[in-house]
Amino acid sequence: MTAVLLTSIMAAVLGSLQIGFHTGNVNAPAKIMEQFFNSTWRSRHDQWMPEHSLTFLWSLSVSIKDFGALLGSLGVKFLADSYGRRNSILIANALSVVGAALMSASRASGSFEVLIVGRLVFGLFCGLVMSLNPLYIQEVSPTELRGAFATLNQVSFASGIFVGMVAGLETALGTEHHWAMMLSLSLVPALLQFLVLPLCPESPRYLLINRGKEAEAEAALLRLRGSAERVFLELGEMKEEAAHSPSGTTLHQFLRKRSYRKPIFIVLIVNLGSQLSGFNAIINYSTKMFQSRFDEAKFLTLGVGAVNVTFTLVAFFLMERAGRRKLLLTGFLSIAACNLLMTIVDSLLPLVPSLRSLQVLVVLGLVSAYELGPGPISWFIAAELFDQPGRPVAMAFTSMLNWGGKFILALLFPPLLKLCGAFVYLLFMAAALFAFVFTWFRLPETRGRTFDHIAEEFRGHEGLALHSKAGFHTFT
């Protein structure tokens, strides 16, 4: 572990900090921002916006970031393979600056459309960076710390959510006069990333395997490791992987290649199970969920953010000890149990108002379970299951699944809650249970294994089962 390695990782995760900030900052001041929508509409049409239109427009404003991220995911492979992992993060960071500038200018321009467009542009940045970050981090990290360092991306994301929640409080910047200024705060980490990341090395794997620049790869690896002996060993491993890897993989080849089929299915189920587990509905709408029953709903939402950060840190320390598989199994099963309890508690609340405190505990339990495993692992597991040529496409696929799930949930949760009431949580429970069963039978453990070792299990060994009947440690 060297200063250059830590600086590279911390500079990269400044992007996910920005994403978390704009995920958490619209929760508490939602009413104030809805009033801005309404007053803007009245100034144009001399009448208030119909309530159903306002509900839809606000849901669109919240979810448009995730839709933009879905579109941004399509550019991951092109950027990562054309400009490198580090430079691609810097290119994407420009979208963050433009998006934040538009969002903060919406109040001064008197246009809620500018806010929506700003969140859309920022969403393009989200779709790129939440795939490029794990890709860069995993390729510069040593094997024994790969998962833990990749989890730092989720730690930064959760920290950004918490900071956004704090900034959005009425006692901070979530007021009628300052909410636009609050939206511009993400410019600070964006500019800091522009200053620091260019000083960090490019991914040695990209330089050697994708570009064939052995001398540059060796120099980058020496800066990251600080040990000539370690560099010699890792270069040998990379050369062995390069010998097994084609120069590149197109989307068509990615979908047709036999050795990719099982990893694709694993990534599909783990990511959809994670996103459709209900976590994002709670993050986006927890204030509205609590405000009908608590006077200080915004501060309870702040507690949700604090627990979110705490358990991403717990996952960071457990990732290389417990492994990916055990954390996923524990997380999915706990999420399913919490969603069942949410259904029961929400159904009984009109009859037993004293259960409202239990509702808060269940929400905190669900957030904890998500961040213990499904939250961080779903973002980086694809980078471990695929070889170098397929990794950028796999990360783009991961981003599309994650942001697509977030978009659908953010858009549909309010109407589903009105339609189904408390039983909407049973849908989340079913998604988590399905992901648990699939993980139990199909997901291998990748902890402590080199990329080439993992890829070897899929190359020419498609007939073998992908789980160990003896335990959670390896393939059979």
Residue 473 lies in a domain: no
Specify the pTM.
0.86
Query: pLDDT, tens digit, for every residue of 164-213?
Result: 988 888 888 878 888 889 999 999 999 999 999 999 999 999 999 888 89
Give the model's confidence band at 461: pLDDT under 50 very low, under 70 low, under 90 confident, else very high: very low
Give the model's confidence band at 371: pLDDT under 50 very low, under 70 low, under 90 confident, else very high: very high
Count of residues making up the chain = 476
Residue 471 lies in a domain: no
The phi and psi torsions of 135 (rounded to 5 degrees) equal: -65, -50
Helices (H), 350-390: 356-372, 374-385
Residue 286 lies in a domain: yes
Beta strands in 97-144 (DSSP E): none
Residue 363 lies in a domain: yes
Are 155 and 16 in contact by the 8 Å Cβ rule? The answer is no
- 143 class by beta-carbon count within 10 Å (0-12 exposed, 13-18 middle, 19+ buried): middle
Which CATH number goes with the domain that contains 295? 1.20.1250.20
Please name the residues in contact with 416: beta carbons below 8 A apart, sequence gap of 6 or more.
Answer: 424, 427
Structure letter (DSSP) for residue 207: I
Residue 218 lies in a domain: no
Query: pLDDT, tens digit, for every residue of 116-142?
Result: 999 999 999 999 999 999 999 999 999
Residue 139 lies in a domain: yes
Query: pLDDT, tens digit, for every residue of 331-347?
Result: 999 999 999 999 998 88
Cα 276 to Cα 409: distance, rounded to the nearest angstrom: 7
Domain with 142 in it? 3-200+245-458
Residue 393 lies in a domain: yes
Structure letter (DSSP) for residue 170: T
The encoded tokens of residue 121 equal: 């542009």
How many domains is the chain built from? 1
- CA distances to 124, 296, 337, 372, 472 from 333, in Å: 32, 31, 6, 11, 16
Residue 234 lies in a domain: no
Q: Which residue type occupies 176?
A: E
